[in-house]
Amino acid sequence: MSRGNRWARSLILLVILPHLCIEIYCSKPDPFAAKKKRMSEKVRQMFYHGYDNYMMHAFPHDELKPLTKTFTNSLSELGNLKLEHLSEKYNGSALTLIESLSSLAILGNHTEFEKGVLWLSENLTFDVDARVNLFECNIRVLGGLVSAHILATDSTNRLTKGTYKSQLLNLATELGERFLPAFNTPTGLPYAWINLKYGVMENETTETSTSGCGSLILEMGALSRLTGDPRFEFAALRALRKLWSMRSSLNLLGTILDVETGEWIEYSSGIGAGVDSFYEYVLKAHLLFGREEMWRMFQLAYIAVQKYFRYGTWYHDSDMRTGRATYWQLTSLQAFWPGLQVLVGDVTAANSSHREFYHVWQKFGLLPERYLLDHQMVHPTERYYPLRPELSESTFYLYQATKDPWYLEVGEAIVDSLNLHTRVEGGFASVRDVTTMELEDHQHSFFLSETCKYLFLLYDDSFLVNKNYVFTTEGHPLPILHSWHERLPEAYIPSNWTSIKGEEPKRASAMSMQICPASMHNCIHGNVQLESVCHIPDARDDHRCLSDEDCGVDSTSCRRRLCSMAGYCGQWRYH
């Protein structure tokens, strides 16, 4: 068995086997069955509160405004912070309905699923004057359609009664074709913005993000596998390979780049905004398509993260050229990372990282968008919580892997906070400021496609019993199929593609191997790097302290860690 397959198998063992054991082989009843039942019902109610309100007040527009019970045609606003080039002619694409389909399937609501599929089949069109963000449109719309098509045609689900043929796939194909002009650049890196009707606009910005061009392969690859048309997978793969070829000698990528020149614009990066789903997609593309190449990329990228971003259980940003720390900030988006670590088998690391995010969640009752690690305070302008799913997602993965009931408690606390702070009569509202709990009039579509889905799956994973799925970054399930692994069209790989250079590291969980932080060169044993022998852990696991004596010795610098004003151990002069 190839190494890639071994890892895919270990994933399956890790994520699925505990479940099978409880459900099939172990005769002991689940002591948490009652709690799971109660909580899954509670989450189901949450989903329908958001969904019904959307259908009542906002459908067929894109997203619900729950405070005013109206709608927003937000597809063209996603990622468009300055709200530029909005067209008055754009009237929405039923975005929240598209995003809800896979959740409806997981909740077992076949009737509503079928109704949604039929409505979209008859009414949705992409021949609209809307300038959309390629990444957002890909993960939300293309991903939603492709996943729903697969679920609708899966005979084991019986989600539709027979009227469905391939209408969603046809729509997905039409959308995929509208994406293709974005890739028409000298580098093959796609433009961040595309007008669905007119293609790339004149004088369009050539700036994009790493996640913007490195997180297209699951949806576009699935579209190619379903249609037999290789253009989509090829375009996404070419972009991903080009992106990877732009890595530094430390195997780090930046955050912002120019698609025409292939030059970096922002050299600092981390595991959060602008980069996050690049890591996710490289690993998941390996799981979904069995590509060894992706696994090799992921290994190198993952180890670089451990070496240059990790600081104890936290992750800071670093300059891709030097590996030096740039920003010491925890962001809400980073909370997906423990979930990814579960997939790769790094469960211990996932657990400790997850605890840090949960600790900040508990501190505020929700997770602020940005939290300053060096000052132990919420960022002055990024205090919002837009109903993001990442912490729930990681909680779900960790429970699948460990069956530790503590994660069920975490999920309950998250559900309670969401109901307490964000539930309003007209749906669920984003929070503008987690320190005041002031609300904002927006229910993002990912609340239904991800937040509610992962919370539901935490308590009721019956959907996962018979099939292994990879969840896209927007929470849409794509089944792991042998045929997609075997029918690997090598013709897709052009002869001039950039190969992966550099020595392959030894395969092991980076955290369990205690990968050495970047600046310690004297801790390389053979080919394997080990954490510095000077490392002395802090007295407490949570890095809290009353004085310097409570802090240990930093493994990066071998210097004593100091107790900060806020009562946390840290090497504060380091940055």
**86-94, 114-122, 382-390, 401-409 -> range binding ligand DMJ (CB under 6 A):** 382-390
* 277 is a contact residue toward ligand DMJ (CB under 6 A): yes
- Note whether 65 binds ligand DMJ by CB under 6 A: no
62 makes contact with ligand DMJ (CB under 6 A): no
390 vs 461, beta carbon nearer ligand DMJ:
390
Dist. CA 402–CA 407, nearest whole Å: 9
State how far the Cα of 129 lies from the Cα of 194, in Å rounded to an integer.
Answer: 10
Q: Does 474 bind ligand DMJ (CB under 6 A)?
A: yes
Binding mask 393-432 for ligand DMJ (x = CB under 6 A): ----------------------------------------
Helix, coil or strand: residue 148: helix
> Which one is catalytic: 114, 136, 317, 538?
136
Is residue 276 flagged as an active site residue? yes
* Cβ count near 12 (within 10 Å): 14
50 binds ligand DMJ (CB under 6 A): no
Tell me if 392 contacts ligand DMJ by CB under 6 A. no
d(CA 7, CA 414) in angstroms, rounded, equals: 31
Within 13 A of 409's CA, how many CA atoms are on the CB side?
Answer: 6
Q: State the helix-helix crossing angle for 3-20 and 337-344, rounded to 10 degrees.
A: 110
> Looking at beta carbons only, is 63 or 450 nearer to ligand DMJ?
450
- Closest CB to ligand DMJ among residues 446, 463: 446
CA separation for the pair 328, 177 (Å, rounded): 41
Asked if 446 touches ligand DMJ (CB under 6 A), the answer is yes
Given the residues 63, 369, 393, 474, the one annotated as active site: 369
**What is the end-to-end Cα distance of the chain in Å, rounded?**
45
The residue of the chain with the least Cβ separation from ligand DMJ equals: 473
Output DSSP code: residue 492: G
- DSSP-assigned letter for residue 549: G
Binding track, positions 88-117, relative to ligand DMJ; x by CB under 6 A: ------------------------------
**CA 81 vs CA 77, 84, 350: distances in Å:** 7, 8, 32
Residue 232 is a binding residue for ligand DMJ (CB under 6 A)? no
**DSSP reduced 3-state for 296:** helix
Residue 505 contacts ligand DMJ per CB under 6 A: no
Task: Indicate whether 281 belongs to the interface with ligand DMJ (CB under 6 A).
Answer: no
Per DSSP bridges, beta strands 63-65 and 438-440 are: unpaired
- Within residues 324-363, the interface with ligand DMJ by CB under 6 A covers 333
Q: Is 369 a catalytic residue?
A: yes
Rounded least distance, CB 124 to ligand DMJ, Å: 20
Q: Is residue 176 involved in binding ligand DMJ (CB under 6 A)?
A: no
Any catalytic annotation for residue 550?
A: no
CB-based contact 101:113 (threshold 8 Å)? yes
Rg (CA), the chain: 23
The first and second tokens of residue 227, run together, are 């249609």
One-letter identity of residue 246: M
Interface ranges with ligand DMJ (CB under 6 A): 139, 277, 333, 388-390, 446, 450, 473-474
Catalytically annotated residues: 136, 276, 369, 390
